[in-house]
Amino acid sequence: MVSPTVTPQIHLAEEAGVLVLREGPSPTPVKETESRVLIIGGGVIGLTNAWALLDAGYAVTVVSDQWASLENRITSQIAGALWEWPPALQETLPVEAHGIRMRTANFFFDRPIEENEEEYNKMREIETAKIRGFVHDPTLVKKHEISRTAAVVDAYKHTSPVIDTDVYMLWLRSVVGAKGGKFVTRHISGDLLEHEDELLEEYEANILINCTGLGAYDLAQDKSVHPLRGALIRIVNDGSRFPVVKEALIVAYDQDKRDEDGGIVFIVPRNDRVLILGGIAQANEGELNLTLDSPEMRRMRDRCNKFVPGLACTTSTTEDAPTAAVGPQWWISWHTGSFASHVIHAVPHGRHGS
């Protein structure tokens, strides 16, 4: 059920090719009735596309076989949801209850960052962009009492948006609904090119956008799309078992130093009571069968426990194992011979998952 509490007194506006959040209703008039869009996929990509199109004056229907909920989370809810880089939102959104908090994020390295060209260039871009709170300071390792067994020697920090994805996904759907978006619960399968005319006629649409992530393997018939399994552990962050963690702590090891799980250290306070521990990245693993006793989950927890003393003193409350799509960065349109399709494939996970 969509919350009725959100009103559409905010809008997305395209400025210099970038979507920017502004206060007030969209100044764009509603387009003619033929400007109707059908979106398949109710995750963060589908609903964000819907929001932007509604503010651009289009009529939008979103079809999905599953929606975000607290009972049965979808992949968009189980993302790490710390915006690290490139530079992004640096001010609090002008609305309540969206689940986005600005927190200090600390990034640690197992060698001087100048010795890692990719990470050094990334840090320099963050510094040049004057991202709020940026400081390059190796003593952050000591200030955060990072365990010596973590073997990190350099660090920097900056202010970054951290998203409580449970709250945000419910809020995002309510925004789309308040702006006039329609929702249909339905599973769609098969090559969209073969069903395009039927779907466009049924939903009185002129454009069809596929935002199904891993579903592009079927709907786009793109066999290069493959799953990337990740996992997070949620623990209570209330100070009863260890000091409350208020800042994000991340170690992105070089690829050649990661274990067989593609693991990193990812410790992020999601909200005022929940701490997220991660993570893993397992290519071509599509089964959602991980438990807290799975070997990769034990290794993941052990990495975090060794990084921050005290984490081992608490028990996990829940665990989740989403599957994200990995494949081509973007499909913009589809053409077959002389036939021009009205299907757009928007699957922007690329090699990074979701």
pLDDT digits (tens, 9 = 90+) for 322-342: 555 554 444 444 444 445 788
Euclidean distance between CA atoms 78 and 15, whole angstroms: 30
Distance of alpha carbon 82 from its chain centroid, rounded? 8
Q: Which CATH number fits domain 10-75+166-225+326-352: 3.40.50.720, 3.90.1110.10, 1.10.760.10, 3.30.870.10?
A: 3.40.50.720
Coil, helix or strand at residue 56: coil
Query: Would the pLDDT of 78 be above 70?
Result: yes
DSSP character string of 120-135: HHHHHHHHHTT-TT-E
Write the pLDDT tens digit of every residue in 18-75: 788 888 888 887 776 668 999 999 999 999 999 999 999 999 999 999 999 988 888 8
Q: Per-residue b/e over 234-263, b at no fewer than 16 CB within 10 Å?
A: bbebeeeebeebebbbbbbbeeeeeeebbb
Q: Which DSSP letter does residue 173 get?
A: H
How many percent of the chain have pLDDT more than 90?
38
- Kindly tell me the burial class for residue 210, based on how many C-beta atoms sit within 10 Å of its own C-beta (0-12, 13-18, 19 or more): buried
Q: Which CATH number fits domain 97-163+231-321: 3.40.50.300, 1.10.10.10, 3.30.9.10, 3.30.930.10?
A: 3.30.9.10
Task: Give pLDDT, residue 60.
Answer: 97
Lowest model confidence (mean pLDDT) among 168-172, 284-288, 315-319: 315-319
Task: Give pLDDT, residue 335.
Answer: 40
Task: Give pLDDT, residue 352.
Answer: 40
For the chain, domain boundaries:
10-75+166-225+326-352, 97-163+231-321
Asked if the domains at 10-75+166-225+326-352 and 97-163+231-321 fall in one CATH topology, the answer is no
Task: Give pLDDT, residue 329.
Answer: 42
Write the pLDDT tens digit of every residue in 200-238: 999 999 999 999 988 888 898 888 888 888 888 999 898
pTM, 2 dp:
0.86
Q: Residue 150: count other Cβ atoms within 10 Å of its Cβ.
A: 18
Euclidean distance between CA atoms 166 and 170, whole angstroms: 7
Task: Give pLDDT, residue 324.
Answer: 58
SS (H, E, C) 280-308: CCEECCCCCCCCCCCHHHHHHHHHHHHHC
Euclidean distance between CA atoms 135 and 268, whole angstroms: 19
Task: Give pLDDT, residue 247.
Answer: 95
154 versus 161: the higher-pLDDT residue is 154
**Average confidence score pLDDT of the chain:** 82
Per-residue confidence at 268, pLDDT binned at 50, 70, 90? very high
